[in-house]
Structure 1
């Protein structure tokens, strides 16, 4: 899927990825997202690690087009998407950590900021690329009916509480895109959002 939003070098990279991937079981839109994550990470394992709930892509595209805020856990994800957001739908982009100068007792700064975002923007798109504590906090808010995001992108990376936070998200009946296991991170999270922005533009 070519679009003016992609630099020619990106398109060349996509062509290389297509050749190396060959046949796969993903549909066109799932593959477009997976391919962009592979492009950002040079890791072909993401082709099998990315999991999409049935309504995830449709819900994400509809929310992007309607201008809902995009809430990221950390500034690195925010910076990775702001350029393409500005070229497409101009959604507000907010890094949760920026809303918390200090952490609440027993919480990280990112989780503290994330909870503030849930109170202000319960139906936003939430993108967690770094902090499993933020994802666990978000899952708790959803399970108690205090947030109903249009889409949750749950792809924190690391070793402590990462798998547990993803499992908590997978238990919820909410549109979601998850990277299974310990892998993920800010580049992967930003790539998923950017792929959705391109898909939303393509469908206009």
Structure 2
């Protein structure tokens, strides 16, 4: 959809950022499968500096439920292991001297349902953010009409366009959440 109004363009960009944020949040929810994004928030103290793990090690998925972390600098293996243990992952690392294996445990049915609820809650937060962006956009459009920048017909057309942008963004959020929920429940 071609959008020319700067107010709607800006709102659409903000909604897109909300979708990206939801995708990142959902990536942090462990679904019983190995996913390198599980390690995105882990920092390792490397020569006195907190360094993101994914910048100092290669992270691969050799099997469906195994993550393999291979540090570029083998001398940092102990620090990497310590950082993983200190994180909130709840997975014990297995150090073989050159790499660290993380075996993702199978999720229980109860835990799957709990994670599915988390997915729904995060999706709802995303929808609330999009609705707030819509509300601000509508207020700006009405202010533009009051200021004489828009006539009533233009305002009506732009409000419809704003609603379409909002509906599309909410549909994208729901699709992200549905995919993650399926992943969590199937495991």
Q: Which structure has the larger Rg? A: 2
TM-score (ref. length: structure 1): 0.22
Higher strand share: 2
TM-score w.r.t. the length of structure 2 is 0.24
